[in-house]
Amino acid sequence: MKKTENDELVFLPLGGSNEIGMNLNLYGFGPPHARKWIVVDLGVTFGDQTTPGVEIITPDPAYLETIAEDVLAIVLTHAHEDHIGAIGWLWPRIKAPVYATPFTAFLVREKLRDKNLLDQVSITEVPLSGNIQIGPFDITLITLTHSIPEPNGMAIKTPLGTILHTGDWKIDPDPILGAPTDIDALRKLGDEGVLAMVCDSTNVFVDGSAGSEADVRIALDHLIGTLKGKVAVGCFASNVARMDSVIRAAEANGRRVCLLGRSMHRMSAAARSVGFLKDLKPFVDDRDAGGVPADQILFLCTGSQGEARAALSRIAEGSHPHIKLGQGDSVLFSSRIIPGNDIPIRNLQNKLSDRGVRIYTDRDHPGIHVSGHPCRDELAQMYQWARPTIAIPTHGERRHLIEHMAFARDLQVPQALAPRNGDMVRLAPGPAMIIDEVPAGRLFLDGGVLTPENSDPLRERRHAATNGVLMVAVTLDRKNKLAADAEVRAIGLPGDDDYPLKEALDDLAEDAEEAVEELSAEQRADDTAVRKAVARALKRASQRIWERRPVVETLVTRL
């Protein structure tokens, strides 16, 4: 495709810039009034203590919906949830064909099947190192290494220049499963000329290199060989190489393996579909694991991040229907702590320890986990291979992006920008610059419904979680006068010996009655006016009593 005078090449992150996770990136080509777009990745992030009742968070596709007719394709770099997890939720708002390598395509189909969308979505499987021609975008996949099978960088060639979009990666000289980093392809791309590199920033503060899965396999084999009793290993199910290492370490030490957690079984099926996890003994069903001697069984578990319903948490709570761990047993955490998960992980480990279980982590046994993201030496190597004119950090919090931008400049990259979600960057023609800002936000999956992050129900839930709830019943007669004493009940509010909660609620009931009595007869005839007056009075009183302003729900009954 030939370029025209008004053509521009732009990059637009809508997720993953200023945060780790929830990746959603767009590339646009053409004149501003008629750009054609591709979407690279469509991921989620997960709720925490600040989002009560919310487990899944997706990017807000509001801007995508306005350009949906010009979106040519969704191209996926790899199968981690923060890169594909939103596809079942957001695809109906975009309705573009999907391109992915076989392992990723397998898992995407499962997600779409869960949403009854599989028959509606065009999915094209692209071979490793394959090429895709999509409108003005000529995309070649470049094999990289990461903590999941088939991670791909993308060389996106356009009439205005070539972009290297790395996705998630590291340089693993011995990746256990899959091919090593395609260094020749990266060097060739650099020789041809790379306009911009959009690159992973996760470990930009970490010196050295991430380390190899081959070393983890040796460490796991050695540690598991020293343990007695039952052994459980918690890791990310998506790290199939780690699964393979744990399973082979178990078998080498005379242990059968039992998979615990739905995602472990799903990833195992996906891995086998592309030829991984070969030549292994059959897994033990969790219902049969009790019949295997303690020193001959290993449980490979989900829940290394302290997720409440995952296998490890159920074991720690003693609520798993088939698996019990106790004195003399061991749990290995072969995973990193995702920022924000410190408290649930600590709580999980404390519960396990309370049952007599010995805990092993990468803090006391550093070899049992390595990161899947590039540290500074690996970033420097990638810049040496690609030699881009423009560095665009992504996949990081603000501090990561700023540090990555400074690091790229130290490596003599001529231009570097660190856009936020919603910042549209013109890569060509001319110097790279932010030329526009579009809506970018989050949608929270709340009770199976996607709602804006600042929606009233979520705001009220956060407020109630912090400040408590007061429920008030007020009864008025036909003359709009109080017909009975007000009743007040509380959720999440304290009392003590000096001022018991019952006494506080009695005082609040009097405050509610006074608030009603101070209203005019006309106002008392209006339920809304009564509710507002009671809420104001009780919030003022609660501020005095507890230094909190709880949610106040008032029921007005008329005789």
* Same domain? 278 vs 254: yes
Q: How confident is the model at residue 50 (pLDDT cuts 50, 70, 90)?
A: confident
What is the average pLDDT across 376-392? 98
* Same domain? 62 vs 198: yes
Q: What are the two backbone dihedrals, phi and then psi, of residue 33, each rounded to the nearest 5 degrees?
A: -85, -5
* Same domain? 289 vs 305: yes
Contact 103, 150 (CB under 8 A): yes
User: CB under 8 Å to 222, separation ≥6 — which residues?
Assistant: none
* Same domain? 236 vs 258: yes
pLDDT tens digits for range 512-543 = 999 999 999 899 999 999 999 999 999 999 99
What is the average pLDDT across 329-342? 89
What is the average pLDDT across 507-511? 94
Q: What integer best gives the mean pLDDT of the chain?
A: 94
Region of poorest pLDDT, from 29-43, 223-237, 360-374, 459-473: 459-473
pLDDT tens digits for range 125-141 = 999 999 999 999 999 99
Burial of 236 per CB tally in 10 Å (0-12, 13-18, 19+): buried
Asked if the structure places residue 22 within a domain, the reply is: yes
Domain boundary residue, one of 311, 340, 368: 368
Closest by CA to 84, choosing from 179, 151, 170, is 151
Is the pLDDT at 2 greater than 90, yes or no?
A: no
CATH number of the CATH domain containing 550: 3.10.20.580
* Same domain? 506 vs 427: no
What is the average pLDDT across 486-494? 93
Asked if the structure places residue 342 within a domain, the reply is: yes
* pLDDT at site 459: 80
Residue 331 CA to residue 465 CA, distance in Å, equals: 33
* Same domain? 354 vs 418: no
Domain boundary residue, one of 368, 400, 423: 368
Domain boundary residue, one of 452, 476, 496: 452
* pLDDT at site 67: 97
* Same domain? 235 vs 248: yes
Asked if the structure places residue 3 within a domain, the reply is: no
* Same domain? 57 vs 204: yes
Residue 171 CA to residue 375 CA, distance in Å, equals: 9
521 vs 50 pLDDT, higher one: 521
Asked if the structure places residue 1 within a domain, the reply is: no
Quote the number of domains for the chain.
Answer: 3
* Same domain? 129 vs 109: yes
Cα dihedral 184→190→193→194 (10° resolution): 110
Please tell me the number of Cα atoms within 13 Å of 399 on its side-chain side: 2
Asked if the structure places residue 143 within a domain, the reply is: yes
* Same domain? 325 vs 419: no
* pLDDT at site 530: 94
Q: In angstroms, what CA-CA distances link 140 with 133, 225, 498?
A: 9, 44, 72
CATH number of the CATH domain containing 335: 3.40.50.10710
Q: Helix 262-273 crosses helix 102-114 at what angle (to 10 degrees)?
A: 140
pLDDT tens digits for range 165-203 = 999 999 999 899 999 999 999 999 999 999 999 999 999
* pLDDT at site 1: 59
* Same domain? 107 vs 203: yes
The domain containing residue 492 runs over which residues? Answer: 468-558
* Same domain? 355 vs 219: yes
Asked if the structure places residue 383 within a domain, the reply is: yes
Asked if the structure places residue 461 within a domain, the reply is: no
Asked if the structure places residue 545 within a domain, the reply is: yes
* pLDDT at site 91: 97
Separation of CA 224 from chain center: 30
